[in-house]
Structure 1
Amino acid sequence: MATILSSISRFAPLTFLYFLLFSFSHMPIFAIDISTLLSSYPDLSDFASLLSSTSVAADLTSRSSLTVLAVPNTFLRSSDLSSSSSSHHLADVLRYHILLEYLSWPDLRLIPPTGKLITTLFQTTGRASTNSGFLNLTRDPRSNTVTIHSSSYSNATVLSLVKTLPYNVSVFSINSVLIPSEVNLMASETRPPLGLNITKALIDGHDFNVAASMLMASGVEEEFEADEGGAGITLFVPTDEAFSDLPAKVKFQSLTADRKAVVLRFHVLHSYYPLGSLESIVNPVQPTLATENMGAGSFTLNISRVNGSVAINSGIVVATVTQTVFDQNPVAIFGISKVLLPKEYFGSHPIDPISDGGEALPPDISLSPENSPDPYGPPGSHLSSPPGLDMRSGAATAGGGGELRIFLGLWCIVFWHHLLV
């Protein structure tokens, strides 16, 4: 019996390791709902309303670690932000108040007097020049006052900790609005007309006749050109070959006219991204014009860099950027290798072009590290879903990884059985 117990004690750590393997493979992913989080604080109601109305709140749902610098109503209403006529500039100012790092109150107390540079959500838009998308936090060692320095010298002081959900999100109140150096709140929303005819630009590109015809037939071209005056737009346009290579099982032409229009909007981002910005994009999950029409969290694209190219994952198809058709602020048009099929219309399973004579898809694109929960983080950080956070099931490990864990688990059971018999 002593021998058996000795054997068990030697192998218990190994068994525990397998238990951890099984546990972490089913860890949920946290999604932050800032609007719900701030709803119980009346003094932050204006700030929360702006986050929701500009869709910045929806952009945060894919992140699991951040710090919000919220401006109370008193300070917000006395700032230029309340009289801004530009929703585009307003959204970028709000993004400037989102730090892409979780900071607790003790963390602020440890900031050195020389300061700490922290990335904001504004930096991920591609519109921040050099280091203007960062904030510098400094601490006075005598009073422990924490000051936030912006690129335009519109500094603010941290007033208090409003809310913290450990290791995921914290909210601090500050006494002033922070303005990036690129943003002019008094500028008009309307830019000088670019005079771009998107259909003509595609026809001149010589390989986009199908897409040009669809744009003219759907009537969404005018909608796209109208959006140039705001934050700008980025179009991903499939080549003629991409349309001809659609698998036979994809009944694209059988879609209703309304659904075809949604698919076209699914190929457009409501921001201007030159190629360099796409290649270095920080937040891979991007809403599209279809997202704005169909609801937050739907019809999003996952953009990343794969094998030296910009890859765009629709959820069931991965396309790559093949060429720049047009690039002049505020419009960028890129040719892509495949038609982006939204999973909302074509199912949730990846389409395998090999069975239809096409090329193999590139590897699936995973979310950036900041969007994934840390299984080795502090105890309790991923065990419950506090207010303001949604629990989303993590995808199970695909292919051989899942089968290997099952095999190892069965092997452990057989091994223990032989030890104890």
Structure 2
Amino acid sequence: MASTPLSLILITLNIQLLLLSLQTQAQTSAPAPSPSGPLNLTAILEKNGQYSTLIRLLQETQTDTQIANQLNNSAQGLSVFAPTDNAFNNLPSGALNGLTNQNKVLLIQYHITPKYYSLTNLLTVSNPVPTQASGANGNWGLNFTGQGNQVNVSTGIDSTQINNALRQQPPLAVYQVDKVLLPEELFGAKSPASSPTEAKAPSSSSNNSTNTSAPSPGTSAGGRNVLGLGLTLGLGLACMGAFS
């Protein structure tokens, strides 16, 4: 049995050492995977387009900052129902401009639930599902119905189908809606204000009765003149009888 030449053994060892060195260098030079950054709702909306009005309102009301803080500090997550630009364009004229700044905050908060829901979860929730908007009577709610892959959301004023999941991964779900979700607390029918009671003008019949019942100055004076003349004639006749 022929012995392996020493030179061949050395060559094999050198090759193995070279391969090990190259592998070590590759592992050292490769950048470590960077940790995923904080979730950014605005960036998600911008990536998908057609949400410029919603983005503007999120920034104006500072709800985008509130959402970022909640995602970093809450284990429950969030679900956002994002109306498209067309949804805002289809609102009645002046609907947004007629809201106070506080009511704009409430409108945006009404599109956010303080819990993560997948589409499957939304089919089995107990309605109404509380949103982040609230008033004197507690949180304002949304109602979800549907079957299969179709989920509808309603407010009591309007309803629409959830057509697209922009993101569906804990702790944040973002769903497209083609209508602005209008809470009854802001857009519900209001009873018309009662008009102030008007002072009633005197009726013509009242004037007539007043004028009829009041004695006429002329008639009263005439009566007194006739009575005086009668007394004078009576006294004259009596005197004539006495001297006759």
* Distance in 2 (alpha carbons) for counterparts of 1:267 and 1:193: 26
Counterpart residue identity of residue 195, structure 1:
P
**2:77 is matched with which residue?**
232
Alpha-carbon contact 1:316-1:348 (below 8 Å) kept: no
- Structure 1 residues 152-187: Cα deviation after superposition (integer angstroms, max 9, x where no partner): xxxxxxxxxxxxxxxxxxxxxxxxxxxxxxxxxxxx
Distance apart, 1:331 and its partner CA:
0.5
Distance apart, 1:295 and its partner CA:
4.3
Structure 1 moving runs of 4+ over 3 Å: 295-298
Distance apart, 1:273 and its partner CA:
0.6
Task: Say whether residues 1:221 and 2:64 are aligned partners.
Answer: yes
**2:113 is matched with which residue?**
269
**1:210 is matched with which residue?**
53
SS of alignment partner, residue 339 of structure 1:
coil
In the TM superposition, 1:352-367 aligns within 5 A as: none
* Distance in 2 (alpha carbons) for counterparts of 1:198 and 1:281: 26
Please report the TM-score for the alignment, with normalisation by the length of structure 2: 0.58
Alpha-carbon contact 2:125-2:144 (below 8 Å) kept: no
Alpha-carbon contact 1:236-1:267 (below 8 Å) kept: yes
Task: Say whether residues 1:259 and 2:103 are aligned partners.
Answer: yes
SS of alignment partner, residue 321 of structure 1:
strand
Distance apart, 1:253 and its partner CA:
2.0
- Structure 1 residues 329-350: Cα deviation after superposition (integer angstroms, max 9, x where no partner): 111000101001111111149x
RMSD of the TM alignment (CA)?
Answer: 2.2
Distance apart, 1:298 and its partner CA:
4.4
**Pair 1:194–1:317, CA change in 2 (3 A):** farther
**1:43 is matched with which residue?**
none
**Pair 1:200–1:348, CA change in 2 (3 A):** same
Task: Work out which of the residue numbers 308, 315, 328 in structure 1 matches 2:156.
Answer: 315
* Distance in 1 (alpha carbons) for counterparts of 2:118 and 2:62: 25
- Structure 1 residues 63-118: Cα deviation after superposition (integer angstroms, max 9, x where no partner): xxxxxxxxxxxxxxxxxxxxxxxxxxxxxxxxxxxxxxxxxxxxxxxxxxxxxxxx
* Distance in 2 (alpha carbons) for counterparts of 1:290 and 1:225: 17
* Distance in 1 (alpha carbons) for counterparts of 2:64 and 2:140: 19
Distance apart, 1:270 and its partner CA:
0.5
In the TM superposition, 1:112-123 aligns within 5 A as: none
In the TM superposition, 1:168-183 aligns within 5 A as: none
Task: Work out which of the residue numbers 332, 345, 349 in structure 1 matches 2:173.
Answer: 332
Instruction: Give the stretch that moved more between structures: 294-303 or 208-217.
Output: 294-303
* Distance in 1 (alpha carbons) for counterparts of 2:139 and 2:189: 13
Instruction: Decide which structure has greater helix share.
Output: 2
**1:344 is matched with which residue?**
185
SS of alignment partner, residue 216 of structure 1:
helix
Q: Percent identity?
A: 29
Distance apart, 1:299 and its partner CA:
1.7
Alpha-carbon contact 2:39-2:68 (below 8 Å) kept: yes
**2:44 is matched with which residue?**
201
**Pair 1:347–1:328, CA change in 2 (3 A):** same
**Pair 1:285–1:193, CA change in 2 (3 A):** farther
In the TM superposition, 1:10-409 aligns within 5 A as: 195-228=38-71, 229-230=73-74, 231-248=76-93, 251-278=95-122, 280-291=123-134, 294-305=135-146, 309-348=150-189
Larger radius of gyration: 2
* Distance in 2 (alpha carbons) for counterparts of 1:335 and 1:194: 23
* Distance in 2 (alpha carbons) for counterparts of 1:195 and 1:298: 27
SS of alignment partner, residue 133 of structure 2:
helix
* Distance in 1 (alpha carbons) for counterparts of 2:171 and 2:180: 24
Alpha-carbon contact 1:315-1:348 (below 8 Å) kept: no
Distance apart, 1:194 and its partner CA:
5.8
* Distance in 1 (alpha carbons) for counterparts of 2:84 and 2:148: 21
* Distance in 2 (alpha carbons) for counterparts of 1:237 and 1:343: 19
Gaps of 5+ in 1: 1-191, 350-421
**2:229 is matched with which residue?**
none
RCO comparison, higher one (Cα < 8 Å, 6+):
1
Distance apart, 1:322 and its partner CA:
1.5
* Distance in 1 (alpha carbons) for counterparts of 2:145 and 2:189: 20
Gaps of 5+ in 2: 1-34, 191-244
Distance apart, 1:328 and its partner CA:
2.2
